[in-house]
Amino acid sequence: MVEIKTNENLAAMREAGRVVARALAAVREKAAPGVALTELDRVAREVLAEAGAGSPFLGYRPEWAPVPFPAVVCLSVNDAIVHGVPGDTRLADGDLLSVDCGATLDGWVGDSAISFTVGRARPEDTRLVAAAEEALEAGIAAAVVGNRIGDIAHAIGRVCRRAGYGIPDGFGGHGVGRSMHEDPGVPNEGRPGRGMRLRHGMVLAIEPMLIGGGTDDHFTAGDGWTVRTVDGSRASHAEHTVAITDDGPRVLTAL
């Protein structure tokens, strides 16, 4: 069931989105060669605490997960696509880091992700991150009243495939509201004109995930959470929480 949000609900979700944006900015500023992933999780926790917000990630345990998620951010390094668990690993110069963060404020959730290079960037990583951001922008541009979920999926997939990147099957965006994962699902590839029609008050997390090697193959690591590329190539992830409105798409997780 898809919950349609009121304008007041959207305003409240914007406040949660601002917290997420500040947490991502703080993590990005802290990330540097030699910094442990647990330190970045601590930075995000401090931002959430200062805002009086909770984390929809911490303790989250879907049916497939062997253990609850132990952090407030997913930190996915290099060949990790999504759901990376922060550990004692220290970042190295040139690492490609994806940071996914959520916040719950006054009962409403925001969810967003960024990818960037720590230290000196490899040209191929710069292109990969830029393609993820372009795919996100294309998906947002298609998130207008009267379009369908398939139009968003098609817009994202077209950018990814034209750039020669893989798309991990089974992973994509979702509705957001009182909980982190709501209906409808938002695939990262699909046929235009298909799926649920978009209407004012729907809120979606749109999140392209790209595999640099061009294949779609992935696997779940031994921690039961981290999703990695089979070919060892690097991956990039970009995400915003977006409200569908009569005035066009409204990004709720921008700074």
Mean pLDDT of 135-154: 98
Task: Give the per-residue pLDDT at 23.
Answer: 98
pTM > 0.95: yes or no: yes
Half-sphere exposure of 211 (CA within 13 A, CB side): 22
In the structure, what pLDDT confidence band is assigned to residue 98 with cuts at 50, 70 and 90?
A: very high
| Residue 227 to residue 229: CA distance in whole angstroms | 7
Task: Give the per-residue pLDDT at 34.
Answer: 98
| Residue 60 to residue 131: CA distance in whole angstroms | 29
Task: Give the per-residue pLDDT at 116.
Answer: 98
Using one digit for the tens of pLDDT, what is the confidence trace for 203-250? 999 999 999 999 999 999 999 999 999 999 999 999 999 999 999 999
**Phi and psi dihedrals of 67, rounded to 5?**
-140, 155
Tokens of 22: 């500040």
pLDDT, the chain, mean: 98
| Residue 112 to residue 110: CA distance in whole angstroms | 7
Task: Give the per-residue pLDDT at 29.
Answer: 98
